[in-house]
Homo-oligomer: A and B are copies of this chain.
């Protein structure tokens, strides 16, 4: 049987059928963000991505400029009851102090090594930095990364009992993959230490180490018995937080990204810098609203404070993702 259909009508009907199939497929199998509940958050992300990848749209952005930056602690993985790196630092400090108790030169360090969290945290950020400095120095960058990787994949989180490396957010991992599938380059831009994150970023997020920007300790080039290595020394040489994030972005990426995701006021300047650029921009804030499945916190606390950025989100046009409402799943499978 042959139907006589005029050529133009046939082409048009194929086009419609294709378009329909395309929309249908988004709901049935090809959903790029299956762990995101249907709603405004998911729809606005997809609408943004589709607007920048369509070569015919005035909002088109060429691949080289499709740069997306993500905070890590509280944005890609959990940060409670303390930054994972702080928990790692405590474990390392205890170990180091066993071998050489003379490293415990302050009350903060003594409290930390004794497992007295309250005493250790009494020194605030300065105390935390002291713990990190002492626990993270005196070994090569390679040895440090190997040790951090071991810890992240074997030590257990105090409340969930999961290994730390598995406490990444499935919806954010899907977002990273979706963006990369659509020609974006995805970077981590974290206040955390760059070596700590690089130890796990390739397997946790499929992000290569050169796309991880973070805070930096001083490293020194040392040749010992003819073998060169980079040794970690105490001391912070770059703080990739707050106003430091745009600086880190310029230094490591060299172009202004068009997409930024964070979860705290430490990401304010990154969100501001990224979304103030010309053309299509997207700012995203992960709001921790799910005390049952993860943790609930925002304006107050010792970590991940989200206050000014929450106040200004509507004005700035940043999407606030409600973890409880918007995420069907929390942890990466």
Chain A residues within CB distance 8 Å of chain B: 64, 141, 194, 198, 208-210, 212, 216, 219-221, 223, 226-228, 230, 243-244, 246-247, 250-255, 269, 272-273, 276
Contacts and interface: CB of A to CB of B under 8 A. Distances in A.
Given A221-B243, A243-B221, A251-B216, A228 B269 contact: yes
A194 B273 CA distance: 21
A265 B27 CA distance: 61
A242 B223 CA distance: 13
A276 B227 contact: yes
A230 B226 CA distance: 41
Contacts of A141: 250
Task: Count identical subunits in the complex.
Answer: 2
B253 A221 contact: no
Nearest to A242: B221
A202 to B, nearest CB: 9
Given A221-B273, A269-B221, A230 B250 contact: yes
A246 B272 contact: no
A223 B243 CA distance: 10
Nearest to A64: B208
B254 A198 contact: yes
Closest 4 CB pairs of A and B: A209-B254, A221-B243, A221-B246, A228-B273
Contacts of A64: 208
A160 to B, nearest CB: 29
Given A219-B250, A246-B230, A209 B255 contact: yes
Contact of A247 (B221, B227, B254, B273): B221
B276 A228 contact: yes
A272 B228 contact: yes
B220 A247 contact: yes
A233 to B, nearest CB: 11
Contacts of A250: 141, 219, 230
Q: From A64, A246, A255, name the one whose CB has the most chain B CB atoms within 10 angstroms.
A: A246
Given A141-B250, A228-B273, A228-B276, 12 more contacts: A194-B251, A198-B254, A208-B254, A209-B254, A209-B255, A212-B254, A220-B243, A220-B247, A221-B247, A228-B269, A230-B246, A230-B250
A208 B223 CA distance: 31
A41 B128 CA distance: 53
Contacts of A220: 243, 247
B252 A252 contact: yes
Contacts of A254: 198, 208-210, 212
A272 B244 CA distance: 32
Nearest to A219: B247
